[in-house]
Structure 1
Amino acid sequence: MRALALIACCLAGPAVAQDLALPAGAVLTYEEKRDPGSYALPTGAFAEGAIPAEVIEGAVLRQSYRVPGDIRTTLQLLAPLRTQIAASGYDIQFDCKTRRCGGFDFRFGTEVLPGPGMYVDLTDFRFLAARHPDGGAVSVLVSRSAAAGFVQIIRVGDAAEGGVSAAPGPVAPTPPGDSGQIARQLESLGRVVLADLSFQTGSSALGEGDFDSLTTLARYLAAFPNRRIALVGHTDAVGSLDNNIALSRQRAMSVLDRLVREHGVDRDQLEAGGMGYLAPLTSNLTAEGREANRRVEAVLVSTE
């Protein structure tokens, strides 16, 4: 692929200067630099309830790119970057594709930059982690939608230089009854918060009554029988991680059961999982923030 967009910074220590060439037309969608900062670099696939990771400290540069056009495979995105990283003296420590990474659990257990700048198809993504003998590190996550490819690059090292641009915010909850917005967010961002759902405190049982978001989601799935949705539960940060992951998964299952039992959704179009408090929308330091973080999201898994 023709190198048009360059990332103008070094991958790691002062002895290694390397510009990564991305595909033609790549557009920077997110950039954040923290110095000092830290990054949990995944070193293996999701297994036994966790992703093995090494926490590395130093200047951290986080970037995501959108590559417009028909990207046929994620390998097309990753392979040239892998070659450049290895050529600059890095040791590839972990290189995986979708299921070998851990699938759903890996995607939601590792750091992913905010949408819509970064999008990850749960059925088609690749990840690479590399370390340099001088101590620097870089990770690359790639995926694609029907209209574009997406590249996330996180690097740690003294040479992670660059300005900080305005960052896209997290996915906003969809107002109840805004049916068109649910479909638009699923198609453009790949996920949407089902904001009108209600659960009693500490309970996994979905409240009684009709929820516009579920009616709309059921209509969407009926209109597009080739679509699959993952329902992902989230909690605030009160209580232990294990308990919150279990509670969030149970709440997602309650939503799944309601969609199948009362809305006639095909069970094969749905799956459910829970993230506990690992993926907050906002800070858990306020009551308002904790309330916003207690949610169930619908994630577009595939269109085939």
Structure 2
Amino acid sequence: MTTTTRRRAERLLPTLALALLAALPARAFDLALPGTARLAAERITDPGSYEVPVAPWTEMEGLVTQSIEGRIQRQAWRIDATGLTDLQIIAPLRAQLEEAGWSILLDCAARACGGFDFRFATEVMKGPAMYVDLSAYRFLSARNPEGDYLTLLVSHSPATGFVQVIRASTSPSAGTNDEDVGEEDSNAIADDAEPPVLSSSTPDLIRTLEAQGHAVLLDLAFASGAETLAPGKIASLDALADYLNADPARRVLFVGHTDATGTSAANVEISRSRAQAARGYLLEKGIPAGQMEADGAGYLAPLASNLSDEGRRENRRVEVVLLPAVE
């Protein structure tokens, strides 16, 4: 190689190096979670789609989202034996994002996000890998300069912190990948699949409850404005009694719902009373009070139109939600 040729090559090296770096895929941004965090479930869909919440839920607009298509990675993390609050968990994660150049789109706590309605309008991985306390959670969505999105959903049970991380990349991928990985979610159904409506007559009630995290108990019938259960045995509650009795660590939440007749405040009270009626049935069966909670959503989560008698009957219901086991 002549001296002239060598000098030309040396001048070209920086340009070639920059070109090679540009051709390499961007390194994925890694969040540093607390040291006790462990991955409970993971799902990667490539290509897939995800609706990124960018504003709180409102009655006028519902949940405003940005639709993203590309590689979607969903993770649920558990932080065991934590005394950290939701804010203490999410604050350092938010700081990491901002330091890395991400723009925060939405950062809110439970009620400011839209409470019950936001929780059930946005995507949440199934229990027991992920758990959300309806009255205590925090949510954050962010976007980086390359156009990728990341969302965080943080909540906790008495002994465990839960962090859901969803990454949505619009960058082109080399192939197709659709897999589930996780200690507690290896048989998970696609998160964007429509969950089956579960009735009390379904033979595998408990199995479906554990897989989906919640179930509608359709054999609990209520007249409009009524708060008490009809007398007699109730198959779904009897099955739940056996389930809870078999393991004292198991816990459930009953959530009552109403039709749209009357005021919001009155319906919340009625729905809570319906949930408490289901809980009371199990208390009479000898199930410890600590294994069950009860709350009401009023008419905020209808299953059908309230314009027909049939729809109103369907909306008057109680759902059971599986809570994390006591550890």
Which TM-score applies when normalising by structure 2?
Answer: 0.58
Select 2:52's aligned residue among 9, 34, 41. Answer: 41
Residue 122 of structure 1: which of 111, 118, 134 is its match?
134
Equivalent position amino acid for 1:270 in 2 = D
Task: Kindly provide the CA deviation profile for residues 211-238 of structure 1, in whole angstroms up to 9, marking residues without a partner as x.
Answer: 25557989x9xxxxxx99551569xxxx
Gaps of 5+ in 2: 1-23, 190-194, 245-250, 261-266, 284-292, 305-315
Within the candidate set 89, 100, 108, 1:96 is matched to 108
Deviates more, 1:68-77 or 1:163-172: 163-172
* CA drift at 1:191: 5.9
Deviations 1:78-134 (A, max 9, x none): 111111111221100100011111111111111100110000011111000011222
Shift, 1:52, TM fit? 1.0
1:1-29 Cα shifts (integer Å, max 9, x gaps):
xxxxxxxxxxxx94464211111122111
Report the counterpart of residue 7 of structure 1 in structure 2: none
Tell me, yes or no, if structure 1 residue 298 matches structure 2 residue 310.
no
Residue 259 of structure 1 aligns with an amino acid whose one-letter code is A
Q: Alpha-carbon deviation of 1:259?
A: 1.9
1:256–1:272 CA contact under 8 A, matched in 2: no
Q: Does 1:107 align with 2:116?
A: no
Q: Give, as a single letter, the amino acid of the residue that structure 1 aligns with 2:151.
A: S
State, as a whole percentage, how many aligned pairs show the same letter.
38
Correspondence list, 1:1-304, <5 A? 14-15=25-26, 17-48=28-59, 50-158=62-170, 164-166=179-181, 167-169=186-188, 192-193=214-215, 195=217, 197=219, 209-214=232-237, 229=253, 231=255, 253=271, 256=274, 259=277, 270-273=295-298, 275-276=301-302, 296-299=318-321
- The CA RMSD over aligned residues, in Å, is 4.8
**Alpha-carbon distance change, 57 to 121 in structure 1, aligned in 2, over 3 angstroms:** same
Secondary structure class of the residue paired with 1:259: helix
DSSP 3-state at the match of 1:118: coil
Residues 40 and 211 (structure 1), Cα distance of their counterparts in 2 relative to 1, 3 Å cut: same
d(CA) in 2 for partners of 1:228, 1:272: 16
Q: Aligned to 2:32, what secondary structure does the other structure show?
A: strand
The SS at the match of 2:297 is: strand
User: Which whole-Å deviations, capped at 9, do the CAs of 1:42-99 have from their partners, x for residues lacking one?
Assistant: 0111101511111111111111111111233011211111111112211001000111
| Residues 1:138 and 1:96: Cα distance change in structure 2 (over 3 Å) | same
For residues 74 and 168 of structure 1, the distance between their equivalents in structure 2, rounded to whole angstroms, comes to 28
Contact 2:256 2:273 in 1 (8 A): no
Relative distance call for 1:37 and 1:175 in structure 2 (3 A) is: same
Q: C-alpha displacement at 1:30, in angstroms? A: 1.5
Residue 16 of structure 2 aligns with which residue?
A: none
C-alpha spacing 1:233/1:62, structure 2 compared with 1 (3 Å): farther
Residue identity matched to 1:29: A
- C-alpha deviations, 1:112-167, integer Å up to 9, x for none? 00110000011111000011222110100011111111110111115698883343
| CA shift in 2, pair 1:204/1:168, >3 Å | farther
| Aligned-pair CA distance for 1:264 | 12
Deviations 1:229-277 (A, max 9, x none): 551569xxxxxxx9xxxxxx99x949818928x9699xx9531345456
Any conservation in 2 of the 1:126–1:141 contact (CA below 8 Å)? yes
- Distance in 1 between the 2:221 and 2:158 partners? 35
2:88 and 2:211 map into 1 onto residues whose CA distance is 22
Task: Please say if residues 232 and 275 of structure 1, whose CA atoms lie closer than 8 Å, have aligned partners that are also in contact.
Answer: no
Secondary structure of 2:129's match? coil
Q: How many residues align?
A: 246
Please give the secondary structure, in 1, of the residue aligned with 2:154. Answer: strand
User: Does the residue aligned with 2:89 lie in a helix, a strand or coil?
Assistant: helix
* Distance in 2, Cα, partners of 1:192 & 1:163: 25
